[in-house]
Amino acid sequence: MKLAAAGLSSAAVHATGCAGAGPVTRPTLHLPTPESPLTPTEAWYYVALTGAYDADRKRHRLSVGGRTHRNLSLSVDDLERRFETVTVPHTLACVGDIPNGALFSASVFRGVRSRDVLRAAGVRNNASLALLYGLDGYLVPRAVEDLLREDTLLVFEMGIHEDRLAPLNVEHGFPLRILTPGLYGFVQPKWLSSITLVDDSDHVDVLRRSNTYASGEMQLTSGFSWPRPGQTLAPAEHEVVGYSFGDGRTIAKVEVSANGEPWEPATLAWNTPDDALPPRVWALWTYRWRAVDIGAHDLSVRATYDDGETQHGGRNFPYAGGSIATVTVFVGDET
């Protein structure tokens, strides 16, 4: 089955929907700290082109077909019963977020590996593209190899405590959505209803040759949880708190600069390179800043992967979310 033969030759990733062009965009209500690193479900950021789709879990079926040896029709209960379940923390962000914005969140998710589901269907040799279709009409083309990754999941539960997860709520994809570490939300449909495999390697090659955003890979991103832009602080030493995340590589270090001075190391305080947490969830950091001069001050932050790639400025097209974040704060009388 070719993409055109499926009647989907014009299928495109609607990245603009995540940039606020859609009817619903709501920032997170929870900025992470080492003491409260994950986002309560009710505080998650939310972006949707057409609003949430309220599905019936008992009647809902995930259809898997196209270039497969067998067509599958699976309920959420079928997925839980037939396949090994996996529980992992995961950070998700919107491609249209701005530096130090708030269109990102992280929680613990439970689901099954899409790889296991596709293997049960039997992937044909000429299947190169997967068409992911949501109940809201949102369609995303993804390389089949993405869905065969061990860490790509079809998830149906979320929360901040592994032993107290609940079904996805309506806004975040109930009853089923797909999640792949290191990819922006616009290539990970909510309310997932079907996966159709097609033979369209040319389309995959075009995506790979396009700019980084076309394939959905997250840019290396850092920002401030505290202080926030425009905040007034008393003259004193303060603990600055923030976050860093990216495409799934390990965050090795974070640095902060005050007023354009040389970069100084921050302290990785949660999800460090030496702990057991996976790089698919953000790293949180702290920095001691001695704020004594009255007036405005600019604080900037950048992160570095374990392979040496360092975050930089100037990412202005088509989206600027991975650029170095700078906040202006004021030192003076807090009253």
- pTM exceeding the 0.85 threshold for the entire prediction: yes
Q: Do 103 and 184 share a domain, yes or no?
A: yes
Same domain, 78 and 167: yes
**pLDDT score for 20:** 38
Going by the DSSP 8-state scheme, the letter that residue 316 receives in this structure is -
Distance CA 328, CA 99 (A): 13
Q: Are 59 and 174 in contact (CB under 8 A)?
A: no
With CA atoms as reference, report the closest residue to 221 among 307, 314, 322.
Answer: 322
User: With bands split at pLDDT 50, 70 and 90, how would you rate the model's confidence at 91?
Assistant: very high
The residue among 161, 189, 215 that closes a domain is: 215
- The reply to whether 188 and 231 lie within a common domain is no
How far is CA 61 from each of CA 77, 81, 162, rounded to the nearest angstrom? 10, 14, 26
Number of domains in the chain: 2
Mean pLDDT of the 67-82 span: 98
Q: What's the start-to-end Cα distance of the chain, in Å?
A: 67
How far is Cα 278 from Cα 104, in angstroms, rounded to an integer? 17
pLDDT over 70 at 242, yes or no: yes
State the average pLDDT for the chain. 89
Percent of the chain, pLDDT > 90? 76
Whether the Cβ atoms of residue 67 and residue 89 lie closer than 8 Å to each other: no
Written as six digits, the tokens of 88 are 């992992």
| 10-27 pLDDT, tens digit each | 334 443 334 334 468 899
Q: Is 64 exposed, middle or buried (0-12, 13-18, 19+ CB in 10 A)?
A: buried
pLDDT at 207: 59
**DSSP code for 97:** P
Domain that holds residue 318: 221-331
Domain end: 158, 188, 215, which one?
215
Say how far apart CA 110 and CA 287 lie, in whole Å: 33
The tens digit of pLDDT for each residue in 53-72 reads: 778 999 999 999 999 999 99
Are 129 and 237 in a shared domain? Answer: no
Query: Residues 170-210: pLDDT tens digits?
Result: 999 999 999 999 999 999 999 999 999 999 865 656 655 55
- Does residue 16 sit in helix, strand or coil? helix
